[in-house]
């Protein structure tokens, strides 16, 4: 059967704007990936736990509430604590440029702003999984 | 990293035995990907499976399968039962991708170390579950889970493999299934050990439940045979969950009488070995280049009408050498 790229798409925190997350989830599915969609109002703890049980290669978070500087670092920390720091974290939403640089320094692989072509996200995921997935 | 994430199998198994969820999850991925590595994992895991009870939840899309799995899991957790949940969603035959959305309804189970939830894509299997569902259930069993709840994809009439995988099958219907129930008589209606009429908050639900009871009663059953009960539930309001759990337990107790469960487990294993054997034979046959060669050489004759498809099958059969 061969390995498939598995991605968890989640919306942490309190904002309910899930259109972006759904568009990305659908695009990744259409690109042949297995997408675990966990829906709204996730805590970083829930996301880490789900990602571990699902053995995903990548976690994609969508944040439009301004809570990115809390959510992303907490998730990085939780994955490291649980021995799952091989899982790459990407994200999207409304995130100011200066915060993007900070978050990428803290261990977030890549952040995609509004207007991103879903093909760029697909390509990024494929490239970053190339060493673990045939 | 290699294909096993750089960790060799021995290390993974050791970590699995120590109870690490990351190791269990990675081993499930290996089982999903199949082939020789999956067989090596099974060699190690299968003897450790302790015989967890397996309950299947099946029914049409949107009937409330995930929500009922959540409710039953929560009830079992209050009794301190260790739970494994396997939730299957369909793989797209066009892209090979899948959207696995069953966790949305099961969020409240996340964070409880007594529950392990895994979503599986059906990956080309047409029976309503994934081909590796049995193996993943074995693994969760060996991981210490006492009850394994397996949710199928949303089914129509003929995706019935869940009956060959689990000990109690719960068929979930909704009042809107309406006339659809008639059509399902031949398939889905025959595999249920417990029937659920979900959405009891709907005004037609009691009537619909009665119709199912009537349909079930039409069947001739020998004395002492199990007669599937019909339970009214509302996953939305959490109604009827205790009654559903009681019906499942009653069926479990029924199977434990007169060695029925032992027989059922043997039958399930037999059908598993059979289908694994058939898979392997099929692969062996198509891996033989002379078989493929004859097929492409002679298919033109079939197209021109000089040869019937069945004569070509006989020619192919003669070429098959199975050591």
Residue A67 sits in a domain whose CATH number is 3.40.50.280
Is B207 within 8 Å of chain A by CB? no
Cβ-defined contact of A37 to B101 (cutoff 8 Å): yes
Cβ-defined contact of B96 to A132 (cutoff 8 Å): no
Is B225 within 8 Å of chain A by CB? no
Question: From edge to edge, which strands make up the β-sheet containing B168-173?
Answer: B115-121, B83-89, B147-151, B53-58, B168-173, B194-197, B230-232
Q: For B192-211, write each residue's pLDDT tens digit.
A: 999 999 988 888 888 888 88
**Domain assignment present for A134:** no
Mutate to test the interface with B, among A54, A58, A133 (most CBs of B within 10 A): A54
Cβ-defined contact of B99 to A25 (cutoff 8 Å): yes
Kindly report the nearest CA distance between residue B48 and chain A, in angstroms: 20
Q: For B147-179, write each residue's pLDDT tens digit.
A: 999 999 988 777 889 999 999 999 999 887 765
* Per-residue model confidence as pLDDT tens for chain B (323 residues): 344 444 589 999 999 999 999 999 999 999 999 989 999 999 999 999 989 999 999 999 999 999 999 999 999 999 999 999 999 999 999 999 999 999 999 989 998 999 999 999 999 888 899 989 999 999 999 999 999 999 999 887 778 899 999 999 999 998 877 655 565 566 888 899 999 999 888 888 888 888 888 888 877 778 889 999 999 999 888 899 999 999 999 999 999 999 999 999 999 999 999 988 998 898 889 888 889 899 999 999 999 999 999 999 999 998 887 76
**Domain assignment present for A24:** yes
What values do phi and psi take at A35, rounded to 5?
A: -110, 115
- Token output for B208: 């619909």
Task: State which residue of chain A sits closest to B283, comparing Cα positions.
Answer: A1
Task: State which residue of chain B sits closest to A52, comparing Cα positions.
Answer: B22
Q: What is the model's pLDDT at position A72?
A: 95
Closest CA relative to residue A73, chosen from A47, A108, A100: A108
Q: For A16-52, write each residue's pLDDT tens digit.
A: 888 889 999 999 999 999 999 998 889 999 999 999 9
Domain extents for chain B? Answer: 1-47, 49-258, 274-319
DSSP class of residue A130 equals T
**CA–CA distance, B136 with B149 (Å, rounded to integer):** 11
Number of domains into which chain A is organized? 1
Show residues of chain B in contact with A52, CB under 8 Å. Answer: 21-22, 25
CA distances from A67 to A63, B144, B246 (A): 7, 38, 44
Which residue among A2, A36, A86 places its CB closest to the CB of B33?
A: A2
Show residues of chain B in contact with A35, CB under 8 Å. Answer: 97-100
Homologous superfamily of domain range B49-258: P-loop containing nucleotide triphosphate hydrolases (3.40.50.300)
Q: What is the model's pLDDT at position B138?
A: 97
Kindly report the nearest CA distance between residue A10 and chain B, in angstroms: 10
Please determine, for the modelled complex, whether the ipTM score is greater than 0.90: yes
Burial of residue A16, with CB atoms counted within 10 A of its CB: 0-12 exposed, 13-18 middle, 19 or more buried: exposed
Q: What is the model's pLDDT at position B185?
A: 64
Residue A91: give the domain boundaries: 6-129
Average pLDDT score over residue span A58-81: 93
**CA–CA distance, A46 with A39 (Å, rounded to integer):** 11
């Amino acid at each position: 059967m061969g390995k498939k790229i598995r991605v968890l798409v989640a919306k942490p925190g309190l904002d309910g704007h899930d259109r972006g997350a759904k568009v990305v989830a659908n695009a990744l599915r259409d690109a042949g990936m297995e997408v675990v969609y966990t829906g709204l109002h996730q805590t970083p703890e829930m996301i880490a736990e789900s990602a571990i049980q699902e053995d995903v290669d990548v976690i994609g978070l969508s944040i439009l509430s301004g809570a990115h500087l809390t959510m992303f670092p907490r998730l990085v920390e939780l994955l490291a604590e649980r021995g799952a720091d091989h899982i790459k974290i990407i994200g999207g939403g409304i995130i100011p440029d200066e915060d993007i640089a900070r978050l990428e320094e803290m261990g977030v692989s890549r952040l995609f702003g509004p207007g991103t072509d879903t093909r760029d996200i697909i390509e990024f995921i494929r490239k970053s999984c190339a060493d673990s997935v045939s | 990293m290699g294909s096993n994430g750089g960790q060799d199998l021995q290390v993974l198994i050791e970590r699995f035995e120590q109870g690490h969820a990351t190791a269990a999850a990675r081993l499930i991925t290996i089982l999903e990907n199949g082939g020789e590595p999956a067989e090596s994992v099974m060699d190690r895991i299968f003897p450790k499976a302790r015989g967890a009870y397996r309950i299947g939840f099946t029914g049409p899309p949107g009937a409330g399968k995930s929500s009922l799995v959540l409710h039953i899991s929560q009830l079992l957790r209050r009794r301190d039962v260790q739970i494994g949940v396997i939730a299957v969603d369909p793989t797209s035959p066009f892209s090979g991708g899948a959207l696995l959305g069953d966790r949305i309804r099961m969020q409240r189970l996340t964070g409880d170390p007594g529950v392990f939830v895994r979503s599986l894509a059906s990956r080309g299997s047409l029976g309503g579950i994934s081909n590796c569902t049995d193996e993943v259930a074995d693994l969760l069993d060996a991981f210490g889970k006492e009850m394994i709840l397996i949710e199928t994809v949303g089914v129509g009439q003929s995706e019935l493999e869940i009956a060959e995988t689990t000990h109690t099958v719960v068929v979930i219907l909704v009042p809107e299934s309406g006339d659809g129930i008639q059509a399902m008589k031949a398939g889905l209606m025959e595999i249920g050990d417990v029937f659920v009429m979900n959405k009891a908050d709907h005004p037609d639900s009691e009537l619909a439940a009665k119709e199912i009871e009537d349909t079930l009663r039409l069947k001739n059953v020998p004395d002492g045979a199990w007669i599937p009960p019909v339970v009214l539930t509302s996953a939305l309001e959490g109604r009827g969950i205790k009654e559903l759990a009681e019906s499942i337990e009653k069926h479990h107790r029924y199977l434990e009488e007169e060695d029925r469960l032992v027989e059922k487990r043997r039958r399930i294993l037999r059908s598993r070995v059979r289908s694994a054997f058939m898979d392997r034979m099929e692969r062996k046959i198509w891996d033989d280049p002379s078989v493929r060669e004859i097929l492409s050489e002679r298919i033109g004759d079939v197209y021109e009408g000089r040869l019937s498809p069945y004569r070509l099958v006989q020619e192919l059969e003669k070429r098959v050498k199975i050591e």
